[in-house]
Structures are given as C-alpha cells and as structure tokens.
Structure 1
Amino acid sequence: MSAQDGSAVERPIRLLIADDHPVVRNGLRGAFADDPGITVVGEVPDGRQAVARAVRGDVDVVLMDLRMPVLGGVEATAELRERAPDVRVLVLTTFDGEADVLPAVAAGATGYLLKDAGTDELAAAVRAAQRGEAILAPAAAGHLMGQVRRPPPALLTARELEVLALVADGASNREAARRLFISEASIKTHLLHVYGKLAVRDRAAAVGEAYRRGLLPATPPGAAL
C-alpha cells in the first residue's frame, strides 16, 4: 500500500489481547480504539489460545496477562519464543512481585507493565515492544536490579527437576509421563516452565544449563539428551 506521493504507508501494529477477564479485554480494546497506529486483531481468554492465535502470522505484539487458565502467561511466552520468535510479548498484570517478574522476563517477555498504566503509557509500550525495546514498570525494574545484586536461587521445583532428569537420561515426553504417572501434556507444561526459568529454548539447552548451574548431578559421558 502506498501514499499518493509513492511513499510506503506504515502498517498499524497488530495487537493480540490475552486476558481471562472479559471486562479487562473490552477495556483494553477500547483503549486502542482511537489509535490509528495499533489495531487489535483478536482477544483470547488463556495462554493456549494466545499461542494458537499468534503463530498464525498476523500478530506483531501480544498483550499478555500472567495468570490465566489452561496455560499461564509465562508458559505461553516461552512457547511463543520457540514457535514464533518474531512476535513480541508485553506482559500486563496486576502482580509486581519478584516471583512474577523474573520468570516472565526469563521466558522472553519484551516488556512488563502493571494494569494501572495509562492509555498513553500502554500505547507507547506496545510501540516500543514492536521495536524490540525493553519496557519495565518501575517496580519490575527494581526487582530485576535486586536479582542482579545477589546469586540466583534454584528456581526449579522438585517435579520440574524430576522431569528434567528423565529428559537428561534420554526419555521422550511419553516415556517421562509413563514413569511419573502423569500426562504428556503435564510433561510439556513442566518443560515449558523449565525453559522459561532457565532462559533456554529447547530440551538440550535446558539440560546443559541445569548441569552448569549444578541443578542436576553429573551425567556419565555419552548420555543422551
């Protein structure tokens, strides 16, 4: 599409809203209604639908709530980083605790804002996210600075370590599920948690990072990943 003088017309940013509260989704859609540079292309109530919608190729930025049913925002962000790395994720949540901020950023979120942000701040953050710029609410930035000043904790839960140990031993998702008496879907969810917490993108990288951090015992040479 071109202007009359032949110059290209900038396409609006295609925004997907992921939040399990209809009132919030409606409010966010309304906040961007008069902005010609941002077009809301869809709304979804959970992280699983957010991933399915975003990988279709017509989404630039996802405005992602953290705590949603089916698949949470952190897990959805980690999956999007793997399946649609060009899609930017801007977390918008009521939670500003360190336990919420760090996994979201580690999972690949470009920005992190609180839901009390004004309309102008939201629009500016969406534009910055589209450019790949990091946007953090002041509270979130403070938590991250605190993390830099002290050694990182062991983030993985006991179950996540069990799953990762089986993966390190060469088990498939199906085999790990059978040995732990849980579903394959649960195995995948645990692995997505691990990817987000360790800031990696696949099974082999997760195992390698876990060994580097001393989260897994030393493995015999030649063990399958």
Structure 2
Amino acid sequence: MGLVYENTSYNSIFQENQQLNYVRPPYGMKFRVKNEKQNDFTVVFGHFDSPGRKAKAGEVSAKGFSGQGNYEIEEALNLINVMNWYDQKDGNNNDLIFMGDTNIKKKNGNKAFKNLLNSGYTSAMDMEELTSLGRTNLWSEPYDKMFIKSDLTSMNGQKFDIYSIFSHIEDEIKWKEEVNAQSKANKTKEIEENASLNEWVKKVSDHTFTFLELNVSNQDNDE
C-alpha cells in the first residue's frame, strides 16, 4: 500500500502569516512480511528543501539554526505531524520508519528533529554519520537520516561506503567510458581520465545509501 502525503499547510514559526507545505511531499509505503508472524510496518520516504536560505523563493534564515533556511528546518520540525498522519492511515500498525535526505546540517540535527525524538522515535544510526559527499573532502554532512518507532527490534543502521564502488564494478575502465558517453549525450561535463575518485563517484550520486535491519521473527504488538 503506497500513499502520497496530503501535504497539509502549516504555519511558519519564522515568518508571520506564512503558510508552508513540503517542497517535495513525502511518500509512504506499508509492507507486510510473508512469514507466519505476518508483521507489518510503514516506511515514509522524504526529501526536504535544499540547505540554506533562498531569498528569491521567499525563504528566510532559520534563526537559531546556523546555515539553514527556514523551509528545510520547518519541514524537519513538522515531520512528527507527517508520521502521525501515516500512523492513522496505515490501519492497525504502530511500526513506523522515516528515511530520507533531510538537508539538515550536523550542528542542527538534534534541535531540528526534537519534536520527532520527543515523541518516541529514535535515530536508527548515529545522528552525526556523514552521508553526503563533499566537494574537497570525501564526506561533508549527515543529511540522510533514519528514524524509527517500533515494537520490532531494529539494528545495524549504517551507510554503504559508496567510495568502494569500483570494487563492485567488474570492468572499471568500461564503466568510466560509458559514464562519459552518457555525459556527452546529455551535454554535461565529461570527467578527465585522471580525475579524483570523488568526481567519478559523484556520477553515481552525491549521497551514499543508508540501511537498517529489522527483526521480523518475533510477533509485534499492533495497538
């Protein structure tokens, strides 16, 4: 069962008389495990507004959140209302997970997600785990988050080391040739043969992948 968030407007806490919506409405999926326990859980996926203030879009700086615009901060603060909405929509199920690119900087994480953390959700991995690829350094910010509230045991929340990508590619030279062929076809910048690892990996993504393990062998209590 999949459902797009209804994107209800909410009042800005940084700008008087401003009504906000999610720039990209979250999407939720309910899953049921094919085992004798028939455990179910809901995963909500989100991609918040890009980091920083964008004045042309009517965004202001988020006071008290260094380096952030109010849009992404307010999306983080309002996330508990999104999760509560899905909790009402997914029937007799109280196991909920949020995963997404939040664009919330390391120094602002605990404060931006305080409403969610104070409502029984926990981070499925270290809140300061860097998952976004840097411009000069390999890693930059812990933008990608996973939060969970569940009777089921979760464990091993972590990121995939995307910089190990070439160890999974059978023919690295052929892959690079195909990347540049696509770049040429799309009229985007081709990468020089002696480019840094960072430049090649960013052709895959500017973020890495995150995952967790969910123990579905025990009966959960849906109340």
TM-score normalised by the chain length of structure 1:
0.29
Task: Answer 1 or 2: which has greater strand percent.
Answer: 2
Task: Answer 1 or 2: which has greater helix percent.
Answer: 1
TM-score normalised by the chain length of structure 2:
0.29
